[in-house]
Structure 1
Amino acid sequence: MTQIETYFVHFIEGDQKKRLVLSKAFYDNTVQELRSLLSPEEKELLEKFKVASRRNEFIAGRLLAKNSIAAIEDKLEPSVMNITHGIWGFPLLTTKEIQNMWISIAHSKAYVAAVVTETSRYPIGIDIEEISKENESSLAHFLASYEADLTLEKKHIYWAAKEAVAKALRTGFTIPEHLFEISEVNYSARMYTIKFKYLIRLQALAWIHNDVVTCIAYPTELEFRSIQKHNFSITNT
């Protein structure tokens, strides 16, 4: 796993400062070399995946989540942190030394991302999408109700926003599709803010770098302020 980037994402709620920790990385088969950083329970979960790509996703996702956690809780070894999953597959931190963190993990073919909060009070979700013409026909199908002239970039942004919000809800797409309808997309300072017609308590923030869309969903009570890069990594790759 290489090109690990860690960021503090700063928000304001009233007069209180809040932050999320976001990690992104490129991953491939070499991520298998980092299995020692998994907890015993995570290693048991890993053995249930028979396809190599799914095993790579699992390892990369857990390690990126631990990278984000360690940026806050730097006294814990990665193998001590344990990230299991809920009934619909969403990640859950079950480490007695750490309380009340909300975690979300996303994968694309070559990239992985994870975001954590310092409190479980705020539901969050993340998605990461590589912009590709290969995805255009499938995205057009799922976004058929929107304007026909959406650019390729916009299609990936819309889809990433829906994915991120579905993760913040921890339902995935098990609830009716129309509930994820996007009502507004604003662009300012190289960032997209996405609002939803029915999910009015959640919104999404997206940006594009090197043809990769990163999108975070979070409560509307939080006002985005800035993203600050943090030079930190739990691995030496």
Structure 2
Amino acid sequence: MEECQKLTFHVGKRNYLLGRTAAKRAASTMMSRFDLTKITISRGVFGQPVLHTGSSDKLAVSISHCQCMGAAIVFPEGSPMGIDVEAINPSRNETMASQMTVAEMESGATVISNKEFLLTLLWSSKEALSKVLRTGLTIPFELLEIETIQTYDGFYVSTFTHFPQYSAKTYLTCGYVWSIVAPRKSEWHLDPLEMQNYFLAFDCGCRKQSATIK
């Protein structure tokens, strides 16, 4: 709460609380520890969240927030991951398109015909990768270029031109695009239907876009 009160604007405070609450809940679930006061998240030298649990478990966390949504993923330090959530917003199309390469737009269009969704998927995947690299979006976007996109039942998998050791899984839920980047050979699973049901249970109603964009 002390950190939150240092923030000037309401949006900043809301985002801070959303992200920290999601991170604490993720860590609590992974460790089966239910006292959230024993879990804290500080800032690293690059602004990244640093997880403190008071145990010997070497865990790390990645946090994202967008509008009224907060998301976090907790993972072993030895297997870095990153998460990003973005709302599909046509007003951002021009900005996002300016940061994409011709190759990834042409390749992506063969898989995803909806331009707004494609741009948001590319952006979200790149931002999640930048969290793994701990650079944020401070490096040239072309270094984060996506090489391939494949569609599966309920999600998409993307690979990166310059970082072949990682891949991204992307989900679409009620107008939000979620991307999780992990080492390419990692095996993990999220149930898209379960995600959607969970989202709808906590939906504040601010997002009314269809979840069936292709």
TM-score range, shorter chain: 0.7 to 0.9
Matches within 5 A, 1:123-202: 123-145=80-102, 146-147=104-105, 151-202=115-166
CA distance in 2, matches of 1:75, 1:122: 22
CA distance in 2, matches of 1:65, 1:135: 27
Q: Which residue of 2 aligns with 1:53?
A: 11
Q: For residues 72 and 144 of structure 1, do their structure 2 counterparts lie closer, same or farther at Cα, with a shift above 3 Å needed?
A: closer
| Partner SS for 1:75 | coil
Q: For residues 174 and 137 of structure 1, do their structure 2 counterparts lie closer, same or farther at Cα, with a shift above 3 Å needed?
A: closer
CA distance in 2, matches of 1:224, 1:93: 21
| Partner SS for 1:79 | helix
Matches within 5 A, 1:106-125: 106-117=64-75, 119-125=76-82
| Partner SS for 2:130 | helix
**2:157–2:167 Cα contact (<8 Å) kept:** yes
State the 1:77 CA deviation. Answer: 1.1
Q: CA RMSD for the aligned pairs?
A: 2.2
CA distance in 1, matches of 2:147, 2:179: 17
State yes or no: 1:67 paired with 2:31: no
CA distance in 1, matches of 2:41, 2:177: 25
**2:149–2:158 Cα contact (<8 Å) kept:** yes
Unaligned stretches of 5+ residues in structure 1: 1-42, 233-237
TM-score normalised to structure 2 length = 0.80
State yes or no: 1:103 paired with 2:61: yes
| Partner SS for 2:156 | strand
**1:102–1:122 Cα contact (<8 Å) kept:** no
Higher relative contact order (CA 8 A, sep 6+): 1
Matched residues, percent identical? 25
Give the one of 160, 174, 186 matched to 1:222: 186
State the 1:98 CA deviation. Answer: 5.4
Q: For residues 226 and 127 of structure 1, do their structure 2 counterparts lie closer, same or farther at Cα, with a shift above 3 Å needed?
A: closer
**As a proportion of its length, which structure holds more helix?**
2
Matches within 5 A, 1:4-43: 43=1
**1:88–1:171 Cα contact (<8 Å) kept:** yes
CA distance in 2, matches of 1:197, 1:136: 23
**1:103–1:115 Cα contact (<8 Å) kept:** yes
CA distance in 1, matches of 2:48, 2:147: 26
**1:195–1:202 Cα contact (<8 Å) kept:** yes
**As a proportion of its length, which structure holds more strand?**
1
Q: For residues 116 and 190 of structure 1, do their structure 2 counterparts lie closer, same or farther at Cα, with a shift above 3 Å needed?
A: same
CA offsets 1:38-79 (integer angstroms, 9 cap, x no match) = xxxxx3322321111101111110001111111122334112
Q: Which residue of 2 aligns with 1:235?
A: none
TM-score normalised to structure 1 length = 0.73
CA distance in 2, matches of 1:53, 1:211: 20
State the 1:225 CA deviation. Answer: 4.4
CA offsets 1:189-218 (integer angstroms, 9 cap, x no match) = 121101001011111000101111111000
State the 1:143 CA deviation. Answer: 1.8
